[in-house]
Chains A and B, each alone.
Chain A
Amino acid sequence: MQSIDDLAREITALPASEQEVLLDRVAQINFQKGLADLAGKYRARLARKGRVDNAVEQVWEELHRIREEIAKRDYLN
């Protein structure tokens, strides 16, 4: 495995445009990793509560209810 310094030297040897693409790609992968971690936590919690396989209709009903409750609180009139 390359050391961090070697890797940095290799990256800085790339043209600026390629460095930019590389950094963008690294950021995307890190973001996706964070999202996957959150999905894992969320699914595990739903599974623990026996809610991961809730009927789609039930999930929709809950989403609609929450949406309207929040909307009515934010816009009283």
Chain B
Amino acid sequence: MTISTERWLLDTNIWLFGLRRDETFPECAKLLSLIGLFSVVIPRQVLKELTTNFTEEEASSFHQLVNDFPEFVELSWDTIPIESVKFYEQGGCRKGDAIIAAHPERLNADLIVTENRQFLQMVVELKVKILTPADALKLLSFRLDQ
């Protein structure tokens, strides 16, 4: 069952801690294992960060996977207008986090999921919700129970 209209932006840390199966952040792997119940949008900044962390072969596998399942994952290479980035920088975000914060509105994403505590605490005027993976899992569980 897919919660069809939900488009979530998973921050880079969710992908990497999830793929590492990091024991400190077990919710990240759990959340990745539930992609399909919601769809994911990956903005340019996250794509570049993932590619930097992957080898060429890993990046190729990742892109192949994404290309094979466009119903679950959408890539966006679009840049965000600098004014939107500055808006979030002025709200206390570092530039990189500001870029992530500015994407959901542009990409019609419903929420951001991240473990980045600084990001979670610093964004005060974000127009979409930011959830930890633990909270995102609770939300999925709640919706599936309904």
Contact = CB atoms under 8 A, between A and B. Distances in A.
Contacts of A59: 16-17, 22
Given A42-B20, A52-B20, A74-B79, A68 B65 contact: no
A27 B69 contact: yes
Nearest to A28: B36
Nearest to B18: A39
B36 A32 contact: yes
* Chain A residues touching B, range: 20 to 34
Interface majority SS on B: helix, strand, loop or mixed? Answer: helix
Interface of B: 1-2, 12-13, 16-22, 24-25, 29, 32-33, 35-36, 44-45, 48-49, 52-55, 57-58, 61-62, 64-65, 68-69, 71-72, 79, 82, 85, 94-99
Contact of B19 (A27, A43, A68): A43
B48 A42 contact: no
Contacts of A52: 20
Interface of A: 21, 24, 27-28, 30-32, 34-35, 37-39, 41-43, 45-46, 52, 56, 59-60, 63-64, 66-68, 70-72, 74-75, 77
